[in-house]
Structure 1
Amino acid sequence: MSLSCSTSTYAYSAPPLALMGLEPMRALLEYVSVGFMDRRRLPTGDGHPVVLFPGLCADAMALEPLRRCCRDLGYEACDWGHGCNIGPKGAVEDWLDLLTEGVAETVAQHGRRASLVGWSLGGIYAREIARRRPGLVRQVITLGTPFAGRGEHTTVGVLCQLLSGRLPQIDEALLARMAATPPVPTTSIYSRSDGVVAWQACREAAVAHAENVEVQASHIGLVWHPQVWSVVADRLAQPEGRWQPYAVSAAVAQRLRAH
């Protein structure tokens, strides 16, 4: 299957609208389930800054449980600082420059490189910041981010097409750039039962410093899912400069717990 953005031919499409209709109920159940999670089993952090970027039409409130979890684990976790994510404000490149400067200020404040955690559209921002200024970024973790797809690979894009008769247009060069892996350790967390974006559009290319980690979650509930929190905690706990894939890291952690 080709995920190249240089062609309009894809072997997959957006999730069915019926699956999107189940998203609120599934997300509610996931939100409740994370309240019963035993967080004492999660690895603790080293105090480096973590910046969280919300998904489309989401804000700090949606990310607050995950931010609080990161704080409890010992990280300097903060929201992106721009309120509700309604998409780029102004020209895309200017908007990305503004977000990059925000991360630069966080890094300067703490004197350490930041990990960026982005949910859906927020993950696109995180990847682009890492591409612009890799020296600022320790790693990127995305949750349900369709960086290798187009508007027709999200139910949001399909709904726009139904309402307006056309899909949102994105420059081909930008699409190709978004699909390329940032030059820092990168983890894409995705779900095959995602009701908003095609899971195939969330998968990284096979490169040494990038990985794909599959979970079973709704799109909305990715930020509240116990399995996602476990993966995020494990990734954030990776020693700087000694990143290793999740499967390897989880196996080592399991052996340590066994002893």
Structure 2
Amino acid sequence: MTAKPPPLRNTLREGLAVPRVLLNPLRLPKRGVDIGHGRAAVVIPGLTTGDISTSLLRRTLRARGFQPEGWRQGINLGADPAKLHVLETRIAQLHQQTHQKVVLIGWSLGGLYARVLAHRLPEHVDMVVTVASPFSGDRHANRAWKLYEAINDHTVDNPPFSEPLSDKPPIPTLAVWSATDGIVAPECSRGEQGESDVTLQIDAPHFTLCTSRRCIEQILAKMAEMEAAPA
């Protein structure tokens, strides 16, 4: 797959979405049909963000019948084996407590965590949703790789885990991508055929995809559609 970082004009537009991220804790969810049925959902934030950035998404998940929680590990600064281990333990606990497999939703870098965790814990994970996550193709086809390498002790091509990110986890996998993403190349978050079970195009800025009620509604609708489909 040949991909280049998003056009600079798209990247500059991302700044308009930042206030939405910061105001997330004050925003109320849209209520609707129960699709969670008591399942736990772990939501993993993107690079240089924390659980505040996913608060509206988690509130909406709760309003739809899930038992959601953030990753509870501060700011996500990169692939970290210790943080992966904490999540592995927590996911197994949630499965035991709820008697249902856990849904993983990862935004950007958080989606890479989610895919690795799904490879490691397929017996505990029900579904993986990646939102604008560069799991496929060239790791340099995004606007954040230089920052990532500046704050980590490894390169984007040599993360501290052995699981190939482009290999589809052995559970239902949804990849959400945007043709107008200003951070991650669309080809990298959409992936190639066979790298996810389902893809969902939502043309919105990178920082809007998990902070817009409209985008969140589309993601939840697709999740419900996947679960309703015949096996």
**With structure 2 as the length reference, what TM-score do the two structures score?**
0.83
- 2:179 is aligned to 192
- The question of whether the paired residues in 2 share the 8 Å contact of 1:153 and 1:201 is answered with yes
- The question of whether the paired residues in 1 share the 8 Å contact of 2:6 and 2:143 is answered with yes
| Residues 36, 107 of structure 1: alpha-carbon distance in 2 compared, 3 angstrom cutoff | closer
| Residues 209, 215 of structure 1: alpha-carbon distance in 2 compared, 3 angstrom cutoff | closer
Identify the match of residue 40 of structure 2 among 35, 45, 49.
Answer: 49
- The question of whether the paired residues in 2 share the 8 Å contact of 1:113 and 1:137 is answered with yes
The SS at the match of 1:142 is strand
Pick which of 23-32 and 189-198 moved more.
23-32
Once the two structures are TM-superposed, the CA of residue 26 in structure 1 deviates from its matched residue by 3.7
- 1:226 is aligned to 213
Count of matched residue pairs: 226
**With structure 1 as the length reference, what TM-score do the two structures score?**
0.75
- 1:120 is aligned to 108
Distance 1:156 1:208 in 2: 22
- 2:95 is aligned to 107
| Residues 108, 203 of structure 1: alpha-carbon distance in 2 compared, 3 angstrom cutoff | same
Once the two structures are TM-superposed, the CA of residue 172 in structure 1 deviates from its matched residue by 8.8
| Residues 176, 150 of structure 1: alpha-carbon distance in 2 compared, 3 angstrom cutoff | farther
Pick which of 60-69 and 146-155 moved more.
146-155
The SS at the match of 2:42 is strand
| Residues 194, 175 of structure 1: alpha-carbon distance in 2 compared, 3 angstrom cutoff | farther
Distance 1:175 1:25 in 2: 37
Identity of aligned residues (%): 26
| Residues 13, 218 of structure 1: alpha-carbon distance in 2 compared, 3 angstrom cutoff | same
- The question of whether the paired residues in 1 share the 8 Å contact of 2:78 and 2:148 is answered with no
Does residue 73 of the first structure (1) align with residue 61 of the second (2)?
no
Identify the match of residue 120 of structure 2 among 132, 136, 144.
Answer: 132
- 1:21 is aligned to 12
Once the two structures are TM-superposed, the CA of residue 205 in structure 1 deviates from its matched residue by 3.5
Larger Rg: 1
The runs of 5 or more residues in structure 1 that have no matched partner are 3-10, 246-259
Once the two structures are TM-superposed, the CA of residue 243 in structure 1 deviates from its matched residue by 4.4
Distance 2:51 2:159 in 1: 31
Across the aligned residues of Structure 1 and Structure 2, the Cα RMSD in angstroms comes to: 3.3
The runs of 5 or more residues in structure 2 that have no matched partner are none
- 1:6 is aligned to none
